[in-house]
Amino acid sequence: NTGYEGWLRFSKLTNANLEAEYRTFFKRLVMSEESEILGTAKEELVKGIQAILDTSLECSDQAGQASNIILATQNTKIDLVTTLVGDHSSQLNEEGYILKTDKETHSVLVYGKTDKGVLYGVFHLLRLVQTEVSLVDIEIVENPKNQLRMLNHWDNMDGSIERGYAGKSIFFEDNRFVEDFSRIKDYARLLASIGINGTTINNVNVHEVETNLITEEFLPDVARVADIFRAYGIKLFLSVNYASTIQLGGLGTADPLDENVRHWWKEKAKEIYSYIPDFGGVVVKADSEHRPGPFTYGRNHADGSNMLAEALEPFDGIVLWRCFVYNCLQDWRDRSIDRARAAYDHFKPLDGQFKDNVLLQIKNGPMDFQVREGVSPLFGAMPSTNQILEFQITQEYTGQQRHLCYLIPQWKEILDFETYAKGEGSPVKSVVDGSMYEYKYSGITAVVNVGNDMNWTGHTLAQANLYGYGRLIWNPDLSTEEITNEWVKATFGVDPQVVETVTEMLLKSWSIYEKYTSPLGVGWMVNPNHHYGPNVDGYEYDRWGTYHFADLQGIGVDRTVATGTGYTGQYFPENTSFYESIETCPDELLLFFHHVPYTHQLKSGVSVIQHIYNTHFEGVEEAEELKNRWLALEGKVDDVRFRHVLARQEEQAEHSKEWRDIINTYFYRKSGIADELNRTIY
Ligand code: BDP
């Protein structure tokens, strides 16, 4: 077992009672309609049940007296369906579904308003069986809370993956598409099973080769990939080069207001849609980290994105325009410039100027996917502009899939973050699910952690981040515990010791990682470029805008309105005063918002310097415990996966010591303040 099946492992059921129960339901699969997605749903159900129960479902277009699994949509004309659905159907949106047992006939209905709903319902049903839930009495009505549930690949056509920690691209090699697409289908299954409905396949940094993806050279291949995803209800998107008109069109300009530029994109859109009629749209990184953009022509981001949106509009395509725009060549000596301010400063003034089919794609924090940072103040701040939130599943700054860092708890905190945009009760999740301002388009996207390693994600336990991401954005109100429990059972089986151990490892891992890395929300302190491992001053005297300002007296970034960069002023007033005041600012973000002396007393009762020492010692001990917890599962987890995870946990335990020693030594030497507990600091 290599981990390739992920959470769709469908191992043979061992619980005899449940097996007997399931057998009373799973005899006949009834489906009276046809569509490509329904075909997928049927195939998945048949395959899954075959594996779990070792039973072949008999297929029919009519319900029998008993033991039917019925797959149906609003177009199905079967009496039993109409009776079972009752008035529930009005509660469903386009992707929602009903799962319902009929006790009399021992039947289970999987009903979607559309075929997509049926597919999601089938995966839900399989999840229930896999995690050993009785079907005797189920009545479930489910709708995804977010409209766009996307992933972004940062894959390059040479096969490398920017910030990829799980091997090479599953789409590209040697500057073309891979030969064998079967892995892409296996991937689509995994994504559909957690409700993902859109993905890009290439890096946001679109280099010369990838610019050609929207030409006749590659569009036939792009279309083949789109075909595979379509059968699983997933729309294909591409990242495009803002300056395509120059490279491909020979126009010499990418000025968004230039008639020729606009015309070129309109023609290009027609061409793309002639290959892929349901093409989702484009993701654009413009005027960011040396990428071209409208600034070159004295235009703003509304001009740039609207130009593309106009071209895609006739086809219902959308533009996901990234807000990761900041000066990456700033003067590090100038304390008044704050990278954290940049996205808000650039985009907030443009609210209301974007076309209907533009969404602003905003990273969860104002810096860059750190283990801890504030939540972007842009959420909720643009009532008239569609927004989509961007998370990072790939663990660029959180251990690169060599360390365990389960991110669901972090993402939940962000989604639950109170913006006060419309007073109390205005969490980020209500901004991005579109309900707060009735956005036409909205949702959540994330940089994915997948590559061609056998287990997809490098660290097998990092699969939990992908799984959890899909489940969480389907319904941000699910608890971390529910999501985790599902994943562990589906992936490793239901043995209570395994479930308890893996769950505990996952749930503690974010806090452990945070403890031995950068303290109190200050972030960074990583090796430049690859970002793995400790380097306190790695970026301190550089031009990227990522500083901690540690000197002999203190540390932290003063982002207050009163004496600092004024960043706190970008939040709604309640949050401005909450973070502005050192009295109320929470410990975990203290150094993100304030510059304080090492002797400053935290709310936890210890000084900043003592906190740094304590957490770094604790983090290492806990990383060691993670390894030991896993070790206790020897014999309970199949050998390949057992040894694989063990190797990663060993590396983490070892590497955490390097973090501890470098960080503690640095601050001991800077501050000259001894550890109260007299532990070894070099
Ligand atoms: C940073 C990555 C860089 C990405 C950039 C982005 O280090 O590789 O290109 O984000 O999001 O986190 O565009």
Q: Environment class of residue 258 by beta-carbon count within 10 Å: exposed (0-12), middle (13-18) or buried (19+)? A: middle
* Neighbouring residues of 465: CB distance < 8 A, sequence distance ≥ 6: 393, 395, 406, 407, 408, 449, 457
Q: How much distance in Å is there from the Cα of 378 to the middle of ligand 1? A: 19
Cα 86–Cα 87–Cα 89 angle in degrees, nearest 5: 100
User: Which ligand 1 atom minimizes the distance to the CA of 368?
Assistant: 12
pLDDT given at position 489: 96
Contact present, 428 and 415 (Cβ < 8 Å) = yes
pLDDT given at position 85: 94
The single residue listed with the structure tokens 């235009």 is: 299
Residues written for the chain: 682
Nearest to 567 by CA among 539, 595, 542, 543: 595
Return d(Cα 605, Cα 306) in angstroms, integer: 52
pLDDT given at position 634: 97
pLDDT given at position 1: 84
Return d(Cα 38, Cα 72) in angstroms, integer: 9
Answer positive or negative: Cα dihedral of 430, 431, 433, 436. positive
Ligand 1 pocket, 324 CB below 6 A? Answer: yes
DSSP H or E run through 72: strand 68-73
Contact present, 76 and 54 (Cβ < 8 Å) = no
pLDDT given at position 336: 87
- Indicate which residues carry an active-site annotation: 289, 368, 396
Q: How much distance in Å is there from the Cα of 343 to the middle of ligand 1? A: 14
**Helix (H), strand (E), coil (C) string for 440-458:** CCCEEEEECCCCCCCCCCC
pLDDT given at position 335: 87
User: For a substitution probing ligand 1, which of 202, 203, 205 has the most ligand atoms within 8 Å of its CB?
Assistant: 205
Residue 236: φ, ψ to 5°: -95, 135
Q: How much distance in Å is there from the Cα of 329 to the middle of ligand 1? A: 15
Ligand 1 pocket, 339 CB below 6 A? Answer: no
Q: How much distance in Å is there from the Cα of 111 to the middle of ligand 1? A: 41
Return d(Cα 497, Cα 427) in angstroms, integer: 36
Ligand 1 pocket, 111 CB below 6 A? Answer: no
The CA-atom distances, in angstroms, between 113 and each of 8, 125, 443 are: 25, 17, 21
Among protein residues, the one with the nearest Cα to ligand 1's atom 9 is 205
User: For a substitution probing ligand 1, which of 152, 368, 526 has the most ligand atoms within 8 Å of its CB?
Assistant: 368
pLDDT, averaged in runs of 10, over the chain (682 residues): 94 93 95 97 97 95 93 94 92 97 94 98 97 95 98 98 98 98 98 98 98 98 98 98 98 98 98 98 96 96 98 98 95 92 97 98 98 98 98 98 98 98 98 98 98 98 98 98 97 96 98 98 97 97 96 97 98 98 98 98 98 98 98 97 98 98 98 96 90
Whether the model pTM is above 0.90: yes
Ligand 1 pocket, 269 CB below 6 A? Answer: no
Under DSSP, the state recorded for 89 is G
Question: For residue 296, which amino acid is it?
Answer: T
Ligand 1 pocket, 369 CB below 6 A? Answer: yes
DSSP H or E run through 360: strand 358-363
Q: How much distance in Å is there from the Cα of 236 to the middle of ligand 1? A: 21
